[in-house]
A and B are shown apart, each in its own frame.
Chain A
């Protein structure tokens, strides 16, 4: 089975801090995604990547950036954390074939105080 590992299950950060969320997948998937999930708003796509060093903006990229230096790792960066970025962050990966679904990591619940 594909495993998608997110480095932290819970994080508490202060306003203004730079925050790194790490995601690693072990199945050589080309496609990786970062979502945030908030009550009543569902899953919202932040950024995605179809290959190493490639990145595409999703629906809500403001305040975030990403890095994909290696195929297995996709990092989400909060340049200057704000309280409205308190959320559950979910990483997902998918093989190149378009009809495959995503495999999600276990999620990181980030609280910005």
Chain B
């Protein structure tokens, strides 16, 4: 089982709709969770971090964490063409080797 799993996509969402990106992780001791956005040819950019069960909102972005189900999600409301990118889920194994483990990413395409 891969440590951090994401659907590779592409996920196509109409402009203005809600984009929902999902991620599961295998290590129960993980404590910090991150979402990175990566445009083609560019480096990853941290857009959200979450540490506690529940929702965390920042502008049009909402991160959701369910530690019991080992599941993290990112919702993007009012999707814009500029949101078209690859979204990487990342998990920090704080009580083990303290490294961040990345998923392979989900490609999101917002349809104008």
Q: Which residue of A lies closest to B48 (CB)?
A: A101
Which residues, 62 to 113 on A, are CB-close (under 8 Å) to B? 90, 94, 98-107
Partner of A99, one of B49, B88, B104: B49
- Cα A102 to Cα B46 with chains together (Å): 7
Q: Are B100 and A102 in contact (CB under 8 A)?
A: yes
Query: Taking the complex as formed, is B28 at the interface, i.e. its CB lies under 8 A from any CB of chain A?
Result: no
Contact between chains at A45 and B99 (CB < 8 Å): yes
The answer for the CA separation of A104 and B88 in the assembled complex, in Å, is: 13
Docked-complex contact B44 and A90, CB < 8 angstroms: yes
Please give the number of chain B residues whose Cβ is less than 8 angstroms from any Cβ of chain A in the complex. 22
Question: In the complex the two chains form, what is the Cα distance from A22 to B51 in whole Å?
Answer: 32
A90–B41 Cα distance when bound, in Å, is 12
Task: Decide yes or no whether A43 CB sits under 8 A from chain B.
Answer: yes
In the complex, which residue of chain A has the Cβ closest to the Cβ of B6? A42
Chain B residue nearest to A50 (CB atoms) is: B98
Decide yes or no whether A48 CB sits under 8 A from chain B: yes
> How far in angstroms is the closest Cβ of chain B from A50?
8
Asked whether B31 lies within 8 Å of A90 as measured between CB atoms, the reply is no
Please report which residues of chain A, range 18-63, place their CB below 8 angstroms from some CB of chain B when the two chains form the complex. 40-43, 45, 48
Identity of the chain A residue whose Cβ is nearest the Cβ of B100 in the assembled complex: A102
Indicate if the CB atoms of B31 and A43 lie closer than 8 Å: no
By a CB distance below 8 angstroms, the chain B residues around A101 are: 32, 34, 36, 46, 49, 90, 92, 100
Please give the residue numbers on chain A whose beta carbons come within 8 Å of chain B beta carbons, in ascending order: 40-43, 45, 48, 90, 94, 98-107
- By a beta-carbon cutoff of 8 Å, the part of chain B in contact with chain A is 31-32, 34, 36, 42-46, 49, 51, 88, 90, 92, 94, 98-100, 102-105
